[in-house]
Amino acid sequence: MSSDLSIPSSIRRFVTGESPAMLIDGAHVPAVSGETFETLNPATGELLAHLPAADTPDVDRAVAAARRAFEDGPWATMKPFDRQRIMMRFADLVEANHEDLAILDTLDMGAPIQRMRGNLRRAVGMARFYAGLTTALRGETIANSIPGDFQTQTLREPVGVVGAIIPWNNPHIAFIWKVGAAIAAGCTVVLKPAEEASLSALWLGEMLLEAGLPNGVVNVVTGFGETAGAALSAHPGVDKIAFTGSTATGQAIVRAASSTLKRVTLELGGKSPNIVFKDADLDLAVPGAAMAAFINSGQVCSAGTRLFVERDIYDDFVSAMSAYSQSLTVGNGLDATTQLGPLVSQTQLERVTSYFAIGRAEGAAVSSGGERLVEGDFASGYYVAPTIFTDVHNEMRVATEEIFGPVVSVMAFDDYESVVRLANASPFGLGGGVWTNDLNKANRTVKALRTGTVWVNCYGQMDPAVPFGGYRMSGYGREGGVQHLDEFLETKAVWIQTH
């Protein structure tokens, strides 16, 4: 298991055991307590860096900086065109440095470098998309019916200080997605990256400053969810929390936010259904369904982890998918031939392998994988084989709980009505897939599924201009698309009596 890449000088300071600082008010600062925590390379278990462990006093400082930048600073009142110029410069920096950003995220959380490189279009695209939206903000004039002469209009105003809390599974994308929309709307931000993958957030924060973003508009505090994240969620100086992560943490954030009734948007977990009808193009559907579940080693919120296959083709489909899964190359993400990297951490390794035992104990059969990989170089990293459970029932834990590893539970179905019922029998509603050559069946299924995204004869495509988010316990609010900015804007109604 080789790694083809050497460490570029631009990211050396993040990954050679030094202690990168946090970014508060445009300055590099340690935690007030001086405490740090380790971040490791999941491919090898080696130490990358010691990061400041922010707690309440650090969050207080960062929120105060963001508040100052919002109220006194030029950002919220800056002309849209000027905000746009800065954000476009940021996009150029992301583009120029993307290869190194990709390597940094691969080192930090393990995803294959090919996948990280593949983020280029979306990362830069999002930065430019949100930059573009700065000049598209607008209110309305509204005809009213009250006696007299009154003019009514709406103003759109930034909500204020945003607490952004992001996960580790696609770090630089998560940063640009959250921060891009918030600052395009004129908000200021305190961002807490995931403890497992904070490094690219620190670098992207620097790039924003280099692009000309005023101090304090975006602050990055590294630390743990239970301390820094919780302090941010409960903070009276924060007007809104934009969160991506697990459903359990989303619930904790809503509780913490309730004390100040701050606004919250939540992008949470899922157990997304993926439905293969017998008339599907199986040359597309077999690898499509496998990668819907296995891409990024299954560490994708919208992964298609409940796979429903029409009974007539079930056996053949499972054999073909098992053969495909066994052909996938698992390895160190720095190797350009790697298709599946390690899981992000020892904790996730334990979580995912525990489900191998749970599935077997529940009576599911394993048609592929189902084990940790430990031979040779695998031993020091957090590797598992892509895993297919068959003979699964929709009520089993492996079919109801989000595993967040390369594990798919396959179920046979007999007809359209029953598969729609089974697909919707989940508290989640994030993604979903339909594979069929029958346009009417595809359309009917798209409408029947209670999920925020449905992919037809494809799975997992994302674009800056297309909204993404969940139904039910997969969260609320939409990210991406023009309407994303609404999540960061207030609407002020204005009445003017005219004579």
Q: Which stretch binds Mg ion (CB under 5 A): 36-44, 53-61, 237-245, 419-427?
A: 36-44
Vertex 280: Cα angle to 276 and 283 (nearest 5): 105
The answer to the question of residue 252 lying near ligand NAP (CB under 6 A) is: yes
In 336-402, DSSP assigns E strands to: 365-368, 387-390
Work out whether 402 is an interface residue with ligand NAP (CB under 6 A).
yes
Q: Does 269 bind ligand NAP (CB under 6 A)?
A: yes
DSSP character at residue 185 = T
Distances (CA, A) of 375 to 110, 166, 324, 378: 18, 33, 21, 5
Among 277, 314, 324, 404, binds ligand NAP (CB under 6 A): 404
CA dist 420 and 152 (Å) reads 46
User: Is 458 among the residues known to form the active site?
Assistant: no
Pairing between β-strand 218-220 and β-strand 433-435 as defined by DSSP bridges: unpaired
Please tell me whether residue 39 binds Mg ion under the rule CB under 5 A: yes
Measured distance CA(19)–CA(315) in Å, rounded: 53
Q: Which of residues 216-235 bind ligand NAP (CB under 6 A)?
A: 224-226, 229-230, 233
3-state SS of 407-427 is EEEEEEECCHHHHHHHHHCCC
How far apart are the C-alpha atoms of 273 and 288, rounded to whole Å?
Answer: 13
Instruction: Count how many residues are written for the chain.
Output: 499
Q: Which is nearer to ligand NAP, 184 or 230 (CB)?
A: 230
Give the sign of the dihedral formed by CA 84, CA 86, CA 87, CA 93. positive
Candidates 51-59, 110-118, 242-250, 257-265; binding stretch for ligand NAP (CB under 6 A): 242-250
How many C-beta atoms lie closer than 10 Å to residue 482's C-beta?
A: 12
Part of the chain binding Mg ion (CB under 5 A), chosen from 10-18, 55-63, 102-110, 261-269: 102-110
310 forms part of the interface with Mg ion (CB under 5 A)? no
Active site residue 187: no
- Residue placing its CB nearer to ligand NAP in the complex, 203 or 404: 404
Question: Which partner in ligand NAP, Mg ion, none is near 130 (CB below 5 to 8 A by kind)?
Answer: none
Using alpha carbons only, how large is the chain's radius of gyration in Å?
A: 23
Interface characters, 192-231, with Mg ion (x: CB under 5 A): ----x-----------------------------------
Tell me whether residue 196 or residue 402 sits nearer to Mg ion (CB atom): 196
416 scored as a contact of ligand NAP (CB under 6 A) = no
| Whole-angstrom distance, CA of residue 225 vs CA of residue 195 | 8
Q: Is 90 near ligand NAP (CB under 6 A)?
A: no
Between 335 and 402, whose beta carbon lies closer to ligand NAP?
402
Binders of ligand NAP in range 281-340 (CB under 6 A): 301
* Binding status of residue 108 toward Mg ion by CB under 5 A: yes
Q: Which residues are catalytic?
A: 267, 301
Where does this chain bind Mg ion (CB under 5 A)?
Answer: 39, 108, 196
